[in-house]
């Protein structure tokens, strides 16, 4: 399956129209519902297979952000063989009381994995928290970059965003359908 084919499938499955409040508080008339492509095991696997080529060669741990980054990082881990960490928005107050479950991030070169990036806000927050735990983070990888300033905001925090698909790719896929 080509990247163009993947873009068409993701666009057909995940693009919704209506009125949506985004994480940053902005209202949008289109929304990419990541759970629609994450819930399709064949599509998610195809996306992860393509994303594997975008993983920096020095990556030691893949870190998926709660909630949407978790299925993506798990599928990506299958294709790269790299261990995964599952990063909560806040550390739980019981059990292990950890922010990052699974693979240890302390001292490791960590790649942040997210589903959809708009402003990059959660990546920036989680990266700061993981860096406090000793993680070395220079890159983040997402399935869809909405191209609304997230990559630029992350660059100011020393994080280079890599994306499998962009809003432009999905718009082109929609026009081709």
72 marked ligand binding residue: no
Residue 88 counted as an annotated binding residue:
yes
120 labelled ligand-binding: yes
Q: Would the annotation count 66 as a binding residue?
A: no
User: Is 114 labelled as part of a ligand binding site?
Assistant: yes
92 carries a ligand binding annotation: yes
Q: Residue 18 annotated as binding?
A: no
Annotated binding residue 163: no
Tokens of 133: 């735990």
Please tell me whether 26 is known to bind a ligand: no
Instruction: Establish whether 15 is an annotated binding residue.
Output: no
Q: Is residue 29 a known part of a binding site?
A: no
2 labelled ligand-binding: no
Annotated binding site for 5-phospho-alpha-D-ribose 1-diphosphate: 23, 88-89, 92, 114-122
Annotated binding site for orotate: 118, 146
Annotated binding site: 23, 88-89, 92, 114-122, 146
């Amino acid at each position: 399956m080509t990247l163009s084919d993947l873009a068409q499938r993701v666009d057909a499955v995940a693009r919704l129209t209506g009125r949506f409040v985004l994480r940053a508080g902005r209202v949008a008339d289109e929304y990419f519902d990541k759970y629609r492509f994450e819930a399709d095991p064949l599509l998610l696997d195809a996306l992860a297979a393509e994303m594997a080529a975008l993983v920096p060669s020095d990556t030691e741990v893949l870190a998926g952000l709660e909630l949407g980054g978790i299925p993506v990082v798990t599928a990506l881990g299958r294709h790269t063989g790299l261990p995964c960490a599952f990063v909560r928005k806040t550390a739980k107050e019981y059990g292990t009381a950890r922010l990052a479950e699974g693979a240890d991030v302390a001292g490791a070169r960590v790649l942040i994995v997210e589903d959809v990036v708009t402003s990059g806000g959660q990546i920036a927050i989680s990266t700061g928290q993981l860096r406090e735990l000793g993680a070395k983070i220079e890159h983040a990888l997402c399935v869809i970059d909405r191209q609304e300033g997230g990559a630029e905001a992350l660059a100011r925090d020393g994080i280079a965003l890599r994306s499998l698909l962009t809003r432009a790719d999905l718009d082109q896929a929609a026009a081709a359908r």
